[in-house]
Amino acid sequence: MSIAHTVYVLRHARAGSRSRWDGTDDRMRPLTPRGQTQALAIASTLAPHVREVHSSPYLRCVETVAPLATLIGTDVVIDERLAEGNDWLDLLHRIEASTTSIALCTHGDVLGDLVLRLHHRGLAGEGGIEKGCTWSITVAGGEVVDARHHPAPES
């Protein structure tokens, strides 16, 4: 019997509105002040529980987990598989391949598809994919055995 561990999958914290973003590259859209506050709260909550921090290359994701990486004394590992528009199956494979407790920051489309599939399998509790939320996903023997929603921190 293998020892279970938890993977924390986050949707990035609050970022400015896509429609009001005046930059040419949406990948560079930063967190709002509220999002920065959420990122600090996420860091203090998850720091005792994770050893590695991985993120979509989008700035809003990196900014969400940068305080966490700083608190645990590591770097944010950029992972293209976590980027917006990617297949939820890539995220599931990444989760199931993990061997230690890690944090993965992604986007609403990828996280939403993953949570939907976990619900269909009877593995996910109730909860949404609001900006700044976290799903704690228990992995044992290379398979997801449970998923629980944690709401976004109040800011």
What is the pTM for the complete model shown?
0.94
Per-residue pLDDT of 9-44, as tens digits, reads 999 999 976 656 566 777 778 999 999 999 999 999
Residue 1's pLDDT band (cuts 50, 70, 90): low
Q: What is the dihedral of CA 35, 40, 46, 50, to 10 degrees?
A: 100
Tell me the C-alpha to C-alpha distance, in Å, between residue 94 and each of 7, 54, 68, 72, 143.
10, 11, 20, 21, 11
Q: At what angle do helices 88-97 and 108-120 cross, to 10 degrees?
A: 70
CB 152 within 8 A of CB 135: no
Q: What is the mean pLDDT of residues 86-98?
A: 95
**CA dist., res. 145 & res. 59, Å (int):** 31
